[in-house]
Structure formats: structure tokens, C-alpha cells
Structure 1
């Protein structure tokens, strides 16, 4: 749901960086708010209205936003706010999306609605996309505090909370969140990728190597991972391995941002 695009780890261009380079932690992409759970214990009319509005988001987000706002004026409540949030996401209006999801979460808190955790997660990811890491982390904290998240989603929230921690320059806190997340979702290559990128900032090259290797094992055809793996190999002095990883990324995803980063890295390190 997000076209939330942050810079790739692979986006470093130039000679292979050194392990202590003070580069920002990159991300494969800004991830969208995960779809919330199916409506529970709500009037059929609200369920139908939400289904129709959500379907409209995919075909005409501006119209869906108008429908959601008109619904709110008529007292639409949680479902109307959620649909407005989805429409704002589709339109790339992240601050507004975060506000809509947070309002839905706050309303759900007052009625002890079990969907409140989902709304907080959506709000947190939207705030991350908007560049407000502090608000994002607070929203993730609210989601975790509900104790309503399934273990897998709890793990993903810790990974996203780590992204907020890095943006706030809280590397120690980000490491705690990443390790918790990886315990719960060890099959998520994105988590290992982020952990590798954080390890570089922590000047822990051995962990950076191990974690990106695990990410590539889980997703061997992901060009973004391959470019970061190439960067780590270059930092480690494994120049030929790095070039091979860059070449593989270009072959797998020609014309993409990852491929362009790989091409630039190859050109800079001939």
C-alpha cells in the first residue's frame, strides 16, 4: 500500500564504503500500513459501506476520499476514518493518512475495539512515510501495548519500530527492536537486511556479513538485497564477489533503481 520509497542501501555510489562510514540506514522500501483485520462485531451496513469505499480506493482514490468524508459527516465513525486513511495512502498524503488512522485507533480505544492495534500499525507506517519518526514510534508503542497482535505481526511492528529508532538516531533501541523482530519473524528477509545495514553503523562487519547472507538466502532473487550484499562484500575487501553480486542484480532486475545502483557501483570500482 505504500509506494513509500526510502533510499536503498545499495544507493551508495562510489568506491566501496568503509565499515565506519556514517551513512543513513537504508531500506528496501517504505512499507505501507498493513491492511487491518476484517471488520468484527460491526453493523452490516458499516461493513458494506467500508467494502464499497475500499474498493473505490483502488479505482478512484479522490472519489473514495469524498465518499469517506461525506460518510464521516453523517457519523460514519471508525470505518469511514479507515477508508479515508486508505484513500490518503493511495494519494501519497501520508500526514493525512496517519491522522485518519490514528483517529480510528483512538475511537477504537474508547470502545475497546480489537482492531485498534491494526489502526495504530497503519498510523505508524504512515507517519514513517511522512518522515515523522517520533510519532511513528509512539503509534507502534500503542499497537504493541494492546497485546492484540499475532506473533508475526508483532515481529513486523518491532522491525518497523526499529526503522523509527534509526531515524531518531537511537541505534541501541533500534538494535533491541530488530533482534526482537527477528526472533518472531526469522523468515522475513527485510528484517535481516535492516539488521545488516544497522550492523554497519554499529561497526560490526561480521554481523553485517552474516545478516545480509541470511537475507539473500531467504530471497535470492531480490535485486535490492543483492546490491546491499555487494556493498558489504566490497567493504569486506571481497571485490570480485561484490562485482558478481552487482552483476547478478542487474541481470535480475534490469532498469530498476537497484540495477542502476549496481551499475554505478561497478563503474566506480573498475
Structure 2
């Protein structure tokens, strides 16, 4: 039974840089779409950072396993019931596992501030009990909840706390650095975000989201060669993700490859037409100049 879920893919919205070569009249609508998608990304990340799937990565001791699962079941049925169950279980000796479930229940109800508090209290309790790595995982969950609640400064501090507790090398550490980079981008600290993303790419090289966000940051900072290389890796790992296709098109159009941009955005629309990424891609396609007609020599 895990305390922390691996990250799943979710889109980063396109941003206003694309308008340098597109129709500027859509600025307000595009920025509103980007903001809405960013909020959806943060909320989903916080939910994924809580225990809802048994991938076996972080075991719960047998004595806590049954009530932990029961608590999660209550939270999935009703966040309020989950909080009540967790509070009673905490009083009855549920240790930091009860606080973890309480944070999960609050996150299910999108009550991000009490979720942060519950996860942080669980982290403190785990550390006092001699389990710093479990504490680190709970600090990371607190960071995700803070990010979902629109408090990237708090999120950064919680992610720093998680990393200071000595998470082992590998995917888990890479994901914390990835989330830390998201918080730093929100704080407009792009230099520090790049440092965390570089660690994430080293620690979690098979995570397409790391390559996607790295490519996006590189585009925003004008490092187009790096952006092209990293989006290519994201496409290799997750060609059927609309968010990856959207960013592939964004980078292509800014490097004068309209044909690649058209194909990538068309793929995003086909993959997920109703998603924010699909809608953004469709909007970009509508502003891209029509492909030149083939000459008679070309058509033969």
C-alpha cells in the first residue's frame, strides 16, 4: 500500500510566447485557457501524490494495512467521512498513517490548506518515530497539496524539506525535484527550476513529464536547441499524449518548422479534442497559415 504515488502525465498549457508568430488578438482567451489548465494540473498532481493505488513501492506495515485501506475507502466515498475516520484512527494509535489518510481525504475534497497541515504533521510524526524517509514522502505530499492550493512558496519549502531528509536515488527523488521545479517556475525562479529539472532528468529519465516540462522551460528561456532535443525525448516516451504533442508544435513553430507544428497540433486534437491541450492545439492550428499548395511538379 503506497504512501506516495508516482507522477502521471498531465499537460502544461501553452503560453503567450507562441503569440509572437501567431495571431495576437487571442491573448486574453489563450492566457485564460493556460491558467485553467495549470490549475487542473496542480490539483491532479496533489491528488496523485496521495495513496490511492497499490503499486507496492512504499509498504504499510501489516498492523496498519487494514485500517489504512478502510480509511482510504471512506475518503474515496466521502472526503468528510475519510477525515472523521482518520481522526478517530489517529486517536486510536494510527500513527502518521492516519495523518496521511487525513491529508488524502482533505485533498479529495480539494481542501488544500488542511491537507498541507495533515501531511506536514504526519511528516513530523514519522521523523519523531525514527522514519525520516517516510517523513520525506509526506513532506513531498504536503508540497503537492500546497502547489494545488496556489501557494508555490510553501510548496517549494515542503519539497526542500523532503529532499533534505535523504530520499534514495531514483524515480521517487526525481519526481520530487520535478514538482519542486514546477513550484519554482510558478515563483519565476527559472534558474533554480532548471537545476531541479536537470536532477529530475537524471533520476527519472523514463518519466515523459520531466522531458516535457524541461522542453517547455527551455522554450520559455529561449534555449531552442535544448527544447527541441527534450521534446523529442518526450515524444519518444509518450507519443500518444496530447500535451506532449501540443508542446512539440509550440517548439516547432518557433523554430520555423510549420509543417511539424501542423502535424503535432493535429495529433493533439485527434488524441484529446476536448482536453485543454487539444483545444489549445486546435486554436493554434486555426492561426497557422495554410500549407502552400503543391505545384504541378511537386504533385507528380
Question: Quick check: TM above 0.5?
Answer: yes
Aligned pairs (5 A) from 1:1-270 = 8-10=12-14, 16=21, 29-30=41-42, 31=45, 32-35=48-51, 37-40=58-61, 44=63, 46-74=64-92, 76-113=94-131, 114-270=133-289
Give, in whole Å, the separation in 1 of the partners of 2:156 and 2:212. Answer: 20
**How many angstroms does 1:229 deviate by?**
0.7
* C-alpha contact (below 8 Å) 1:15/1:268 kept by paired residues: no
* C-alpha contact (below 8 Å) 1:17/1:231 kept by paired residues: no
Measured on the aligned residues, the alpha-carbon RMSD in Å equals 2.9
Task: Could you tell me which runs of 5 or more consecutive residues in structure 1 were left unpaired when the two chains were aligned.
Answer: none
Q: 1:9 is paired with a residue of what secondary structure?
A: coil
Q: 2:58 is paired with a residue of what secondary structure?
A: coil
Look up the match of 2:294.
Answer: none
**How many angstroms does 1:210 deviate by?**
1.2
**How many angstroms does 1:15 deviate by?**
6.2
Query: What TM-score does the superposition give when structure 1 sets the normalisation length?
Result: 0.86
Give, in whole Å, the separation in 2 of the partners of 1:16 and 1:227. Answer: 15
Higher radius of gyration, 1 or 2: 2
Give, in whole Å, the separation in 1 of the partners of 2:110 and 2:9. Answer: 11
Considering fraction of residues, name the structure with more helix.
2
- Of 221-230 and 6-15, the range deviating more from structure 2: 6-15
**How many angstroms does 1:73 deviate by?**
4.7
* C-alpha contact (below 8 Å) 2:212/2:244 kept by paired residues: yes
- Of 248-257 and 213-222, the range deviating more from structure 2: 248-257
Q: 1:267 to 1:17 in 2, by over 3 A?
A: closer
What are the superposed Cα offsets for residues 136-194 of structure 1, whole Å, 9 maximum, x if unpaired?
12211221122233521011111111111111221111111111110111111101111
Task: Could you tell me which runs of 5 or more consecutive residues in structure 2 were left unpaired when the two chains were aligned.
Answer: 24-30, 52-56, 290-300
Query: What TM-score does the superposition give when structure 2 sets the normalisation length?
Result: 0.78
Q: 2:274 is paired with a residue of what secondary structure?
A: coil
Give, in whole Å, the separation in 2 of the partners of 1:65 and 1:16. Answer: 50
Give, in whole Å, the separation in 2 of the partners of 1:6 and 1:99. Answer: 25
What are the superposed Cα offsets for residues 59-112 of structure 1, whole Å, 9 maximum, x if unpaired?
222211122223345564312211111111111111211111011001111111
